[in-house]
Amino acid sequence: MAVKEPSIIASPNRALALTVGTLLAIWGVLGFFFAGDAGHAFFGDKGGMLWDSFSVNPALAFLWTILAAAFFIVGLGNTIGSRNVNRFVGVVLVVLAVYGFVFSGTSANVFALNTTDNVFNAIVGVVLLLTGLGADRQNIRALRASNA
């Protein structure tokens, strides 16, 4: 008996992937406009201000846009892929937040991260990790059992 892939509404990992993907797509696309305001370097330690709180350079806007694309692909795809990408990107964002806290105010801050960026990346990263680790267990167990 084949088990049907859970819908976006029935799968917390798929729903979160699409939600965070939308958020990062907005941040990323807008970031390109604000990062280019003063001609900031792609990997520069200074960036434009998005909504007067997020510091954004082209590298960070590009990273957010690439992550958004990954979220859209797996969120519209399947639960197991969404769970894996949520875990991976969660780790990436938590590492980025730690990197930002450690190197903020130095020339090593190649993503022009400020405290708001770091808190945003940490919160989203932790939510992604917790969802990737804890949600959809029954859905994934049923999918794997039907494929065996």
Summarised one tens digit per residue, pLDDT across range 68-119 is: 999 999 988 888 889 999 999 999 999 999 999 999 888 888 888 999 999 9
The neighbouring-strand residues paired with 4 are none
Residue that the structure tokens 């770091």 belong to: 118
H-run or E-run covering 50: strand 48-50
Type of residue found at 84: N
**DSSP one-letter code for 4:** P
- Cα–Cα distance measured from residue 14 to residue 114, given in angstroms and rounded to the nearest whole number: 29
* Predicted TM-score (pTM) of this structure: 0.85
Task: Detail the DSSP E strand segments found in 51-141.
Answer: 54-56
The neighbouring-strand residues paired with 54 are 50
Give the tens place of pLDDT for each residue, 26-59. 988 988 887 766 566 677 667 777 777 778 888 8
- Assess contact for 14 and 82: CB atoms under 8 A: yes
Burial of 124 (0-12, 13-18, 19+ CB in 10 A): buried
- Cα–Cα distance measured from residue 77 to residue 98, given in angstroms and rounded to the nearest whole number: 30
Return the structure tokens found at 18.
């699409």
Residue that the structure tokens 């090593």 belong to: 108
Give the tens place of pLDDT for each residue, 9-27. 778 899 999 999 999 999 8
